[in-house]
Homo-oligomer: A and B are copies of this chain.
Amino acid sequence: MVNRSAQDIRCLNRFEVLRRFYAAADARTRQDLAAETGLSFATVANLTAELLDAGVLMEAGRDGSSGGRPRTLLTVNADRGALVGVDVAETSVRTELFDLALRELAVDERPLAPGDVTPDHVTQQIVAGVTAVLASAGLHQDSVLGVGISIPGLVERDRGVSAYSPYWAWRDVPMRDLLLDRIDLPIHLDNPLKASTLAEMWFGAGREADDLVVVTLRSGVGAGFALGGALYRGTTNSAGEWGHTCLVFGGRKCRCGRLGCVEAYVGTPGIAETLRGVAPDDPLLASDGDDSALLAGLAARAANKDGVAIEVIRQTGAYLGAAVGNLVNLFNPEVLVLGDQIADHLGELLLSETRATLADHALAQPLRAVSVRVSPLPHDAVSRGAAAFALEGFLDDRELFGPVSRSRTARTRAKAGAGAGAEE
């Protein structure tokens, strides 16, 4: 099957143009956009005409700074509509509301009691969250362009189904249908790895990088790929299972049953295992299963020069450097971002150990080309990424943006031509 239809390509170019506005929150001319994207002026003129027609962009005066004839400035029409992102995590539902300039308008977080989590209960919490953020921002449901939802596990995004969610042992839960009974809005479902990657692409480091690898580190670990400015999904939307690539052939048993997986060394249970090797009686090992307590404890002790904590972070960084080196050698990315719970807690401490080992594992050329950093996003990457599901869904709306009819093509082209004539 072919992934790239003409429709997809127009949509990717729409992404490309909008990312320029988000990268530098300034008004810009069509000439700026052509220079920044590498697209031809005619293509940019077509794309911006479409985005103006759809109300996504608006005119923002004239720029006379270049000395020639003043050129029209364009900017994102923040009030065109709002985006909702929902992070359904194991123990909470976090809902965030953004305007179309990707500025946060409101946030709502409500706990999920462990053990008693049914699809119906989660649906209720999502609806309550959406209602709460809209009320908080004083917006009506009509002004929402779409709702993106991240659910852990295996997701069939086309059908909006949570195919398998290991934590709750859900199978084939039709989340979108359940929600559509209560919210009359476009619903977009996918998993946290995809959300984190899109969050980085739209809100974070990917605004300015085209080949981006996003490493998520918590109890489970994964790697998302935004290549050429778009999420790389693989043939069945399951690319990125870096956590279950083999790093130590015949090594530690992973919770998946395989031996030597990356996750068994750099996921939180893997870090606990490393701690057990360094100091079998360490009091932090009593925080059984409380990942946050373990990571916060290690970070606090390492900051106080505690030898055990420093050694655990050193060993973890050695494994992580090798495993990240594998991604650098395979993908030759421009930017590699470390994010999620472990990065939030251990951040620069872990990063400096990782960088040191990475230099031993990555080849010289891809190593020189890559910038490795901790995610610049606040601690809400997944809900932001879920909002990006809604943004991408809106930008791929075939009613609003095509398939372009003959008359519409002619109209857009005429406009673009006029623009080009006046401004070039």
Q: Report which A residues bind B (CB closer than 8 A).
A: 1-7, 9, 12-13, 16, 36-40, 42-43, 154, 210-211, 223, 227-229, 232-242, 244-251, 256, 258, 260, 319, 322-323, 325-326, 329-334, 360-361, 363, 365-366, 368-370, 403
Contacts and interface: CB of A to CB of B under 8 A. Distances in A.
Contacts of A247: 246-247, 249
Contacts of A323: 246
Given A236-B366, A246-B247, 8 more contacts: A4-B16, A5-B39, A6-B43, A211-B235, A234-B331, A235-B333, A238-B363, A247-B249
Given A40-B5, A40-B403, A248-B249, A241 B363 contact: yes
A229 B331 CA distance: 17
17 contacts: A1-B38, A1-B210, A2-B229, A3-B211, A4-B38, A5-B38, A6-B39, A9-B9, A233-B332, A235-B333, A235-B366, A235-B370, A239-B330, A240-B332, A241-B329, A249-B322, A256-B363
B332 A239 contact: yes
Nearest to A325: B246
B6 A13 contact: yes
A43 B42 CA distance: 17
A363 B244 contact: yes
A43 B6 CA distance: 7
Given A6-B13, A247-B249, A403-B40, A332 B236 contact: yes
A246 B326 contact: yes
A258 B211 contact: no
Contacts of A232: 227
User: What are the 10 A-B residue pairs with the smallest beta carbon separation, nearest first?
Assistant: A234-B332, A241-B329, A245-B326, A239-B332, A6-B43, A248-B249, A2-B38, A235-B334, A236-B369, A246-B322
Contacts of A2: 16, 36-39, 210, 229
B245 A329 contact: yes
Contacts of A13: 4, 6, 9
Contact of A331 (B239, B251, B258, B332): B239
A258 to B, nearest CB: 6
As for how many copies of this chain the complex holds, the number is: 2
A166 B407 CA distance: 59
Contacts of A361: 244, 246, 258
B228 A211 contact: no
Nearest to A223: B330
A247 B146 CA distance: 43
A333 B229 CA distance: 19
Contacts of A331: 234, 239
B330 A330 contact: yes
A370 B239 CA distance: 12
A331 B403 CA distance: 30
B332 A3 contact: no
A247 B247 CA distance: 5
B154 A365 contact: yes
**Most chain B Cβ neighbours within 10 Å, of A36, A235, A334:** A235
A302 to B, nearest CB: 23
A145 to B, nearest CB: 25
Contacts of A368: 236
A365 B238 contact: yes
B242 A330 contact: yes
B330 A40 contact: no
A9 B235 CA distance: 21
Contacts of A235: 210-211, 332-334, 366, 369-370
Contact of A360 (B9, B210, B211, B258): B258
